[in-house]
Amino acid sequence: MSSADAAWSRMLADLDTRSLRRSLRPLETPQGTEVVRDGRTLLNFSSNDYLGLASHPAIIAALREGAARHGAGSGASRLLCGSLPPHGELEETLAAFKGTRAALAFSSGFAAALGTIPALFGKGDVLILDKLAHACLIDGSRLSGATLRVYPHNDLDRLESHLGWARKNFPNSRVGVITESVFSMDGDLCPLAEIVALKERFDAVLYLDEAHAFGLLGAGGRGLADALGLAPRVDVQMGTLSKAAGLAGGYVCASRAAIDLAINRARSFIYSTAPPPAIAAAAIRALEIIASDEGNQRRQRVLGHAAHFAAISGLGPVPAAIFAVKLGEESHALESARSLEASGFLVPAIRYPTVPKGGARLRITFSAAHSRPEIDRLTLAIAHGLEHLCPAVLPKAAKKKGELGALGQRDHGTMRI
Ligand SMILES: Cc1ncc(COP(=O)(O)O)c(C=O)c1O
C-alpha cells in the first residue's frame, strides 16, 4: 500500500468511527416508489422524483426520439459545435415558463450554481447566504471570490444587518442574497416576501434556488416565487431538471444581460460538453407535462400525501414534499434508517457534512407515484420508531386524534430502534 493509500485508509477509518462513512448501494430496479436493493423490495421514500416523471412513458419516448433525431452525445461544448436544436428550444421553453427574458441550461443543477454565481459576482462584491444553503450555492459563492457573509437559517434580522454592513462598506459593489425556496434537507420554506423586500431596500440581487419547489409550487409548478406573485422581483431563478422533471440538468432563468454574461463567463458551461440533446428534448416534454392538467393532478397528489403525513403523524407541516425527522446524533439516524430498511422502507439517514454536526435526521420525500396506503404504512413505521426513541414527540399528537391507532389495526411494518 502506498503512503497515500495508507493515509486515505486512515481517513476512511476515521469516518467509520464517527458514523460518517458513505458507500454506494445500487438499486437493482429503475427509479420508482418500489425498488429492490440487495435482493430486498423496499418502499422508496428517498427519491426527489416528486411527480413520478422519471418513469413517465411520454418522457422516456421523448428521450428515445431525441437520441434517434439528434444523436447520443453533443460532441462539444455549447460554444464550440455542441449547441443543438433541443438546447435552444429548452431554454426558450424555460424562459417562457418562468416569465423571464432568457434562460440557460446546464448539465446539472450543481453545475448551474458553480458556473453562474462566479459569472455574475466577483472580487469586490458581497454574497450573503442562508446558513443552510445547498453545497452548490456555497461552492459557487466561494469560487466567485466575493466577500461572503452567512446568516442563520431564515433569520431576517441578521440578513438585514448583513445587507446594511455590505452597503456601508461596499457602496458601489454588487450585493447578492443567495437562498433556497424549499430547503433540501429541512423541507421548510424561506420567507421570500420579506427577503425580496429587504433586497430591494438595499439594492441587492436575489439568487433563488428553486430546486425543490420547481414542479411542485406555484401555478403549473413554476415555483415558490410564482406562488407568491414575486417572480418578476427575483433576479435569478435557478433550478434543476433532476428532481420534479424526472431527468437531469440544471437551469438559470434571468435577464438577457445576466444570461449572456453566464454564456461568456460560467466555466461549468463554457468548459464542459453540452448535455446530451435527447435530455434537452425530453426536458421540453417534461415541462409540458408539469404545466398541464396531468401535472396539476400529480402536484395535488404529492402535496396531498405530504399534508396527510403531517396530519396523521402530528410531526408538523410539510409545505412541499420533503420532511425531516430530526434525531440529532449521527448513530441514531443511521440506526433508524437501518431499522426502517429492515422493515421494508428506504428512508435515508442524512448526516454531517450534509447537515450540521449533531443535526442528523431521516429525510422523507414523497412522490405522486406513492399510494395513500403506502404513506400510512410509513407513518406508522416512523411513529413506532419514534415512540421508542423520542416518546414525547410523535405518538402523543397522533394518537390523540386516534388516527395512528386505527392505522395500527392493519398489518404494517414498523421501525425498531
Ligand atoms: C437545493 C439544491 N440545489 C441544487 C441541487 C443540484 O441539482 P442537481 O442534482 O441537478 O445537480 C440540489 C440537488 O441535490 C439541491 O438540493
Strands 236-240 and 34-37: unpaired
The domain that holds 110 is classified in CATH as: 3.40.640.10
11 belongs to a structural domain: no
Active-site residue flag, 203: no
From ligand 1's centre to the CA of 137, what distance in Å?
A: 9
For residue 394 the three cell numbers come to 410523535
Residue 210 Cβ inside 6 Å of ligand 1? The answer reads no
Which of these is catalytic: 70, 87, 199, 212?
212
Banded model confidence at residue 411, pLDDT cuts 50, 70, 90: very low
pLDDT of 98-118, one tens digit each?
A: 999 999 999 999 999 999 999
Active-site residue flag, 264: no
Please tell me the predicted confidence (pLDDT) of residue 413. 39
Considering only residues 250 and 408, tell me which one the structure prediction assigns the higher pLDDT: 250
Considering only residues 387 and 201, tell me which one the structure prediction assigns the higher pLDDT: 201
The CA distance from 312 to 163, in Å, is 41
Q: With a threshold of 0.85, does the pTM exceed it?
A: yes
From ligand 1's centre to the CA of 240, what distance in Å?
A: 6
pLDDT of 5-18, one tens digit each?
A: 999 999 999 999 98
123 belongs to a structural domain: yes
In this structure, are residues 319 and 187 in contact, taking their beta carbons and an 8 Å threshold? yes
Q: Let me know whether 202 and 239 are in one domain.
A: yes
Domain boundary among 271, 291, 311: 291
Please tell me the predicted confidence (pLDDT) of residue 266. 98
Residue 250 Cβ inside 6 Å of ligand 1? The answer reads yes
Question: In whole angstroms, how far apart are CA 80 and each of 18, 108, 119, 197, 324?
Answer: 47, 19, 19, 41, 44
Q: What average pLDDT does range 391-397 have in this prediction?
A: 48
Residue 134 Cβ inside 6 Å of ligand 1? The answer reads yes
Asked whether the predicted pLDDT for residue 233 surpasses 50, the reply is yes
Domain boundary among 238, 272, 291: 291
In this structure, are residues 262 and 68 in contact, taking their beta carbons and an 8 Å threshold? no
Q: Let me know whether 101 and 31 are in one domain.
A: no
Q: Let me know whether 325 and 268 are in one domain.
A: no
CA 218 to chain centre: 16
In this structure, are residues 269 and 107 in contact, taking their beta carbons and an 8 Å threshold? no
Question: In which domain, by residue range, is 381 found?
Answer: 27-50+321-408
From ligand 1's centre to the CA of 113, what distance in Å?
A: 9
185 belongs to a structural domain: yes
Active-site residue flag, 87: no
Please tell me the total count of domains within the chain: 2
Q: What average pLDDT does range 275-293 have in this prediction?
A: 98
Residue 48 Cβ inside 6 Å of ligand 1? The answer reads no
Residue 211 Cβ inside 6 Å of ligand 1? The answer reads yes
Q: Let me know whether 287 and 346 are in one domain.
A: no
Q: Let me know whether 256 and 274 are in one domain.
A: yes
Q: Let me know whether 352 and 219 are in one domain.
A: no
Banded model confidence at residue 228, pLDDT cuts 50, 70, 90: very high
Q: Let me know whether 109 and 202 are in one domain.
A: yes
pLDDT of 43-95, one tens digit each?
A: 999 999 999 999 999 999 999 999 999 999 999 999 999 999 999 999 999 99
Pocket test for ligand 1, best of 240, 268, 322 (most atoms within 8 A of CB): 240
Q: Let me know whether 44 and 131 are in one domain.
A: no
Residue 130 Cβ inside 6 Å of ligand 1? The answer reads no
Which of these is catalytic: 91, 130, 180, 341?
180
Question: In whole angstroms, how far apart are CA 372 and each of 40, 54, 346?
Answer: 22, 20, 17
Q: Report phi then psi at 108, rounded to 5.
A: -160, 165
Q: What average pLDDT does range 302-330 have in this prediction?
A: 93
Residue 374 Cβ inside 6 Å of ligand 1? The answer reads no
The CA distance from 62 to 186, in Å, is 33
CA-nearest of 211, 218, 254 to 111 is 211
Q: Let me know whether 272 and 383 are in one domain.
A: no
7 belongs to a structural domain: no
Q: Closest residue (by CA) to atom 16 of ligand 1?
A: 184
246 belongs to a structural domain: yes
Active-site residue flag, 308: no
From ligand 1's centre to the CA of 397, what distance in Å?
A: 33
From ligand 1's centre to the CA of 357, what distance in Å?
A: 21
The CA distance from 255 to 236, in Å, is 8
In this structure, are residues 286 and 325 in contact, taking their beta carbons and an 8 Å threshold? no
The domain that holds 334 is classified in CATH as: 3.90.1150.10
6 belongs to a structural domain: no
Please tell me the predicted confidence (pLDDT) of residue 332. 86
Burial 294-327 (b: 16+ CB within 10 A, else e): bbeebbebbbebbebbbbbbbbeebbbbbbbbbb
184 belongs to a structural domain: yes
Q: What average pLDDT does range 166-176 have in this prediction?
A: 97
Please tell me the predicted confidence (pLDDT) of residue 394. 52
Which of these is catalytic: 134, 162, 332, 412?
134
Asked whether the predicted pLDDT for residue 130 surpasses 80, the reply is yes
Pocket test for ligand 1, best of 243, 350, 354 (most atoms within 8 A of CB): 243
Active-site residue flag, 243: yes
Asked whether the predicted pLDDT for residue 222 surpasses 80, the reply is yes
Q: Let me know whether 216 and 354 are in one domain.
A: no
111 CA closest ligand 1 atom index: 11
From ligand 1's centre to the CA of 115, what distance in Å?
A: 14
Q: Let me know whether 42 and 139 are in one domain.
A: no
Residue 108 Cβ inside 6 Å of ligand 1? The answer reads yes
Banded model confidence at residue 331, pLDDT cuts 50, 70, 90: confident
240 CA closest ligand 1 atom index: 10
Residue 179 Cβ inside 6 Å of ligand 1? The answer reads no
Domain boundary among 275, 291, 307: 291
Q: Let me know whether 200 and 140 are in one domain.
A: yes
Banded model confidence at residue 416, pLDDT cuts 50, 70, 90: very low
Residue 369 Cβ inside 6 Å of ligand 1? The answer reads no
CA dihedral 231, 183, 295, 219 (to 10 degrees): -20
165 belongs to a structural domain: yes
Mean of all residue pLDDT scores within the chain: 93
The CA distance from 96 to 105, in Å, is 14
Asked whether the predicted pLDDT for residue 408 surpasses 50, the reply is no
